Amino acid sequence: MNWKEEYKRKVSKPEVAIRDIHDGDCVVLGHAAAVPKIIPQVMADHCDDYNDVLIFHMTTLGDNPLLHPRCFGHFRHVSNFLSGNSREAVNHLNGDFFPAYFHDVPEMIGDEIPCDVAVFQATPPNEDGYCSLGVSCDYALAAIRCAKSVIIETNEMMPFTYGNTMIHVSQIDHIIPCAYPLPELHSEASSDVEKAIGRYCASLVVDGSTLQLGIGGIPNAVLAELGDKNDLGIHSEMFSDGVADLMKKGIINGRKKSMHKGKVVTTFIMGTRDLYDFVDGNEDIELYPVDYTNDPIVIARQYRMVSINSCLEVDLMGQVASETIGMRQYSGIGGQIDFIRGASMSREGKSIIAMPSTAAKGTISRIKPFLTPGSAVSTTRNDVNYLVTEYGIARLKGRTLQHRAEDLIRIAHPDFRPMLIEEYERRFQCKYVAE
């Protein structure tokens, strides 16, 4: 049977495809902007037919009908990275969270994360019968290999991407042809605080660096300050519109990269329709599974690797909390440690934690004498290289506890420095001397 005949045979109605899901099964869903839309909606519509079905997912953009309260008790969610639409479900015990480095997730699928049914999006097949996983391939291939049943929504609006994103029609059990736009993530304009942070971070980036950034006001502000740099590269777990803008200007060209020279390498992409159009069929962009992109050893091979991540709070020793607020799980570790450690091992590499100095409209200091009780330490004090706020840069690597505290107080918001100085003088039994 040639692949075209096989494709026709495997085309299914969603209501038929979900018959492969049984009570007690684990369903692994696609990630981020590539989260499937049709199958989750049909599962939610038929939730009364299911009991004790485990749903594994990470960030899901847009509405996730499986997280609606009417589905609780039928579907239970497990994740190692929460977002706005899953946070409340997990924190109200309708799901659970497990700590894990992002690069370990593919290896866990089939073992710690059982996978009975894999549900993903992809492009329609090319002339050889291969579908591209499009804007997210992180743990997809691992799930597709392990699953007893593979359901793929072949979305005509999914960008075709290169790297290691291909699955063949022969690997699929149910094909759901469809055409719907990917969920978009529009970033707001960077605030003055974020712009100041962006300038400080950009000052640490030298020509020929390879960057890892996330999404949001601070990464956007950093990218906006890189217009005078040359020959930058990208090796990142994800990227958004700002990277595309610098690629178009030739500032990001990957010429100095040690690996994948001339290519932007990532494992998933989130942004606007303009970004999705830009990456569609773009051979300068390659996606690989997260156990490759986020492998600290792979990252360390890049010359002048610079990682830029954010956090929720940091204490005077340099311990970083990025994923919890006290006992409340807020997000996850993602690739933060993967890239901090990889960048630290890179020749002339740097790792940066960047954050506003305050939270809650200026009422709470993010630099604290102690982390909020119950908070998980995401990045240990041994791993932090640079910490940046709108008030400057603190280099923590190689610094004593006393010197760390002094530098962190210097970049804290002025309103909270007296409180931090009081703790400093109590702890170190000496007078704090401002520069």
Catalytic center residues: 237
Count how many Cα atoms sit within 13 Å of the Cα of residue 211 in the half-sphere of its side chain: 31
Q: How far apart are CA 151 and CA 10, in angstroms?
A: 10
Nearest to 352 by CA among 255, 186, 221: 221
208 contacts: CB under 8 Å, gap ≥ 6: 230, 231, 232, 233, 256, 303, 304
Q: How far apart are CA 109 and CA 84, in angstroms?
A: 24
DSSP 312: S
Q: How far apart are CA 363 and CA 369, in angstroms?
A: 16
Contact 335, 235 (CB under 8 A): no
Q: Specify the DSSP element, H or E, that contains 289.
A: none
Decide: helix, strand or coil at residue 127.
coil
Q: Specify the DSSP element, H or E, that contains 28.
A: strand 26-29
Q: Specify the DSSP element, H or E, that contains 13.
A: none
Q: Cite the DSSP H helix spans in 225-363.
A: 241-248, 273-279, 290-293, 296-300, 336-345
Q: How far apart are CA 194 and CA 218, in angstroms?
A: 5
Q: How far apart are CA 69 and CA 50, in angstroms?
A: 14
Instruction: Find the helix packing angle between 401-410 and 417-428, rounded to 10°.
Output: 170
Q: Which amino acid is at 15?
A: E
Residue holding tokens 């918001």?
A: 413
